[in-house]
Amino acid sequence: MLLLCHYLLDLSRSLDLRKKLIIAMDAAFGMEYLHSKSIVHFDLKCDNLLVNLRDPQRPICKVGDFGLSRIKRNTLVSGGVRGTLPWMAPELLNGSSSKVSEKVDVFSFGIALWEILTGEEPYANMHCGAIIGGIVNNSLRPPVPETCDPEWRILMEQCWSANPNIRPSFTEVTDRLRAMSVMLQSRAQAPGS
């Protein structure tokens, strides 16, 4: 298994939308499982997603690196700031509370969706202070390519919403990714495709 980030950065390999959806769904299923067990990952990013590409038609993606994970008690998780800057939700950075919800992982997943889509590292050429300020002020998110599938864009933007209440649960994320996959398959099977 390879780290997904290494695969994405290798421009000689390309993933079509179907394979990107499979990878995103696998990661979302893994996160849905973790959240069902009251575990918050806190460091979800393509660096912590493992991908197996032995079957060129069906990549397999697994969530890894649970070094920052915490068990959720009641409804919130305590323990201060943790994660990797470009993937950290605003509520982790603004210091307003030492308790956060599992929606911090959903924010990170939105940024990971952008990584899967573009093959790039978010905010690669920006200074840490500018990243923190931009995320906290809700003025910084990765640029969405014009060619982005509209449903992918909507999901990604809801995941990285500044308001955790707007972010979907991973159950909703998996449902929406599954629907996108079905729609893509039906378009591929339509006459004239």
The DSSP-derived string for 99-158 is EE-THHHHHHHHHHHHHHHH-S-TTTTS-HHHHHHHHHTT---PPPPTTS-HHHHHHHHH
Q: Is 158 within the bounds of a domain?
A: yes
pLDDT of residue 97: 58
Q: Is 62 within the bounds of a domain?
A: yes
pLDDT of residue 71: 57
Q: Is 185 within the bounds of a domain?
A: no
Spatial separation of the C-alpha atoms in residues 9 and 46, rounded to whole Å: 11
- Rg of the chain's alpha carbons, rounded to an integer? 16
Q: Is 21 within the bounds of a domain?
A: yes
Q: Token pair for residue 71?
A: 């068990």
The total number of structural domains in the chain stands at: 1
Q: Is 55 within the bounds of a domain?
A: yes
Spatial contact of 119 and 8, defined as CB atoms under 8 Å apart: yes
pLDDT of residue 154: 97
pLDDT of residue 41: 86
Is 43 in the active site? yes
Q: Is 187 within the bounds of a domain?
A: no
CA atoms within 13 A on the CB side of 29: 11
Q: Is 167 within the bounds of a domain?
A: yes
pLDDT of residue 189: 77
Q: Residue 13's domain is classified under what CATH number?
A: 1.10.510.10
For residue 57, what are the domain limits? 2-178
pLDDT truncated to tens, each residue of the chain (193 aa)? 677 777 776 644 568 888 899 999 999 999 999 999 988 888 898 888 888 888 878 888 888 875 555 555 444 444 555 667 788 888 888 766 566 788 999 999 999 999 999 988 899 889 988 998 898 888 899 999 999 999 999 999 999 999 999 999 999 999 999 999 999 888 877 776 5
Q: How far is CA 11 from the centre of its chain?
A: 20
Instruction: Identify the active-site residue in 43, 65, 149, 175.
Output: 43
